[in-house]
Chains A and B, each alone.
Chain A
Amino acid sequence: MKQRPIRWSVYVGLMPAILIVVFAYLGTMIWTVGISFTDSRMLPAARFAGVNQYIRLFATDRWLTSIQNMVMFGVLMIGISLVLGFLLAVAIDQRVRAEGVLRTVILYPYAMSFIVTGLVWQWILNPTLGIEKTVRGWGFESFRFDWIVGQDTAIYCVVLAGVWHAAGLVMAIMLAGLRGIDPDLWKASRIDGIKPWRFYLHIVIPVLRPSFISATVLLSLGVVKLYDLVLVLTGGGPGFSSDVPAKFVMDYLFQRQNIGLATAAATTLLVTVLCVLTPWLYAEYFRRQTPKG
Chain B
Amino acid sequence: MTTHHTSEGPSGPAPRRIGPARLGIYAFLLISALFFLLPLYVMLVTSVKPMAEIREGGLFALPSAVTFEPWIRAWSSACTGLDCRGISPGFWISVKILIPSVIASILIGAITGYALSFWRARGANLLFAALLLGAFLPYQVFIYPLVRIYSATGLFSTIYALVLTHVIFGLPVMTLLFRNYYAGIPIDLFKAARVDGGKFFSIFFRLMLPMSIPMLVVAVILQVTGIWNDFIMGLTFGGLANRPMTVQLTNLVAPTEGEIAYNVNMAATIMTAAVPLIIYFISGRWFVRGIAAGAVKG
Q: Footprint of B on A, CB under 8 Å? A: 2-7, 9-14, 16-18, 20-21, 24-29, 31-32, 35, 44, 84, 87-88, 90-96, 99, 102, 104-117, 119-121, 123-124, 129-130, 133-134, 137, 164, 167-169, 172-173, 176-184, 186, 190, 196, 210-211, 214-215, 217-218, 221, 224-225, 227-228, 231-232, 245-246, 249-250, 253-254, 259, 262-263, 265-267, 269-270, 273-274, 277, 281, 284-286, 289, 292-293
A4 and B120 contacting across the interface, CB-CB below 8 Å: yes
CB distance from A101 to the nearest CB of B (A): 8
A29 and B142 contacting across the interface, CB-CB below 8 Å: yes
Q: What are 23 A-B interface contacts by the 8 Å CB criterion? A: A3-B191, A4-B120, A5-B119, A5-B120, A6-B119, A17-B108, A21-B127, A88-B32, A99-B10, A104-B284, A109-B39, A113-B273, A129-B58, A173-B295, A178-B11, A180-B1, A181-B3, A250-B143, A250-B232, A266-B141, A285-B128, A285-B129, A286-B125
Contact flag A180-B5 (CB < 8 Å), given A94-B15, A114-B229, A270-B137:
yes
A107 and B288 contacting across the interface, CB-CB below 8 Å: yes
- CA of A61 to CA of B57, assembled, Å: 41
Residues of A within 8 A of B295 (CB): 173, 214-215, 217-218
A91 and B38 contacting across the interface, CB-CB below 8 Å: no
A119 and B269 contacting across the interface, CB-CB below 8 Å: yes
Residues of A within 8 A of B149 (CB): 28
Interface size bracket, B side: 35 or more
B33 and A281 contacting across the interface, CB-CB below 8 Å: no
A28 and B127 contacting across the interface, CB-CB below 8 Å: no
Q: What total count of A-B pairs have CB within 8 Å?
A: 325
Contact flag A13-B272 (CB < 8 Å), given A114-B231, A173-B292:
no
CB distance from B168 to the nearest CB of A (A): 5
B142 and A17 contacting across the interface, CB-CB below 8 Å: no
CB interface residues, B 1-39, toward A, < 8 Å: 1-15, 22, 25-26, 28-29, 32-33, 35-39
Q: Is B43 an interface residue (CB 8 A)?
A: yes
